[in-house]
Amino acid sequence: MKNALLLHGSCDKEEYYSDEYPSLSNSHWFPWLQKQLLIRDIFTQTPELPKAYGPTYEDWKKEFERHDITAETILVGHSCGGGFLVRWLSENDVNVDKVVLVAPWLDPENRRTSDFFDFDVDKNLVAKANKFHVLYSADDMPSVLESVKKLTSAVDGLPVTKFENKGHFCFDNLGTEEFPELLELLIA
C-alpha cells in the first residue's frame, strides 16, 4: 500500500508548550499536504515527534519506526525532520519510493542537539529511493544553508532545487498553508 510520512522539525521550548501555536505536525503546510495526498489515495501520517524543542534521536526513531516503511513509502522531512531522515536512511538498509528533504537542518554548530546528528552521511543516500529531492531557499537561515552544503558535498548525485524568497518554508515565509511545488514532486 502506498503511504507517506511527513516529519516536522524542531522549535523552541516556549512554542512547544504554548497554547498559541498548533502542534508542529498540524502547522504550516503539513495539514494541507496530508489532505492532498489522502485524496489521491496515499495513506499519509504526520506523527508528532517527541520533545521537538530538544530532540533525541532514539526517541524520534522509536516513534518513526512505529509506522510502515516499505518500497512504496514517501518520506518528507522539514528542517530537523529532514535531518532525521538523512541519519535514519544513512543507518538503515532500506529502499523507499520517494524522499523529499525540505530545508534540511543538521545542526552544523551543535547548538540545539547533542548527539542527534552524530553519524556519517551515506554517500549513496540517493540510491535508497526511486526519487530523491532536496528543496531549500537562498534566504533561509545560515545553518540550513550550511546543512545543504554539507549534504551536497557528502552525497553523490544529490538532486537539489534552490528557491528564492521562501525562507524556511514556514507559513510566515510562504504566506499560505499550501505548498504546491512539494505536492507536484510527490505525485509526479
Q: What is the mean pLDDT of residues 131-138?
A: 98
pLDDT digits (tens, 9 = 90+) for 84-109: 999 999 999 999 999 999 999 999 88
Lowest mean pLDDT among 1-10, 34-43, 107-116, 125-134: 107-116
Q: What is the mean pLDDT of residues 52-77?
A: 96
User: What predicted TM-score, i.e. pTM, was given to this entire model?
Assistant: 0.96
Instruction: Write the DSSP string, 53-110.
Output: TS--HHHHHHHHTTS---TTEEEEEETHHHHHHHHHHHHS---EEEEEEES----TT-
Q: Is the pLDDT of residue 173 over 90?
A: yes
Query: Where are the domains positioned within the chain?
Result: 3-187
Class of domain 3-187: alpha beta
Q: What is the mean pLDDT of residues 114-118?
A: 85
Average pLDDT, the chain: 95
Helix (H) or strand (E) holding 4: strand 3-7
pLDDT digits (tens, 9 = 90+) for 18-36: 999 999 999 999 999 999 9
